Amino acid sequence: MSFIKSGLSPALASLLIGAFILMPGAAFGEIDRVLVDKSQRKMFLYKENEVVRQYTIALGGLPKGHKEQEGDQKTPEGVYILDYINENSAFHRSMHINYPNDADRQSAVERGVDPGGMIMVHGQRNGAGMFSGLMQLFDWTDGCIALSNSEMDEFLSLVPVGTAIEIRW
């Protein structure tokens, strides 16, 4: 069927197709799982077991191993939930990871330490977005997962609150 027969001009059809292609996630809908491979410094967004986006990430200063306590500069390992968006953070947008879970809290109690918290997927520190190309080359967070600002905007447009995030070494 041609665009003319459908009553849609070629110019309008091109505009609509272009808008569809440029809309993040339009081709595949919402993400249903996020995987973070700390050893590769990569984040993968999945829709129905297919990787649809991949990002290079920055982590905490001592990323190997599971987060055990406040201030250890580790990113937790395990399966968590992305449970809310924080638009008023010290970083360009963020989404909270529900660390610590019950097992993390119990482990911290047994060791007599504070498990820490406020682990986020976030963009660059406010006002430092112009340096994201450089900042993404090394681990600089306190245990969070950092993206560039434009990647963080895309991430929030694709990943709904309530999505599972698996973090592993």
Q: pLDDT digit string (tens) for 35-52?
A: 999 999 999 999 999 999
Mean pLDDT value across residues 57-86: 95
Instruction: Note the CATH architecture for domain 31-168.
Output: Beta Barrel (2.40)
pLDDT score at 19: 41
- According to DSSP, the β-strands at 78-86 and 164-168 are antiparallel
pTM over 0.75: yes
Catalytic site residues? Answer: 122, 144
pLDDT over 90, % of the chain? 71
pLDDT-derived band at 28, boundaries 50, 70, 90: low
- CA max distance for the chain: 73
pLDDT score at 126: 83
Helix (H, G, I), strand (E, B) or coil at 19: helix
pLDDT score at 141: 94
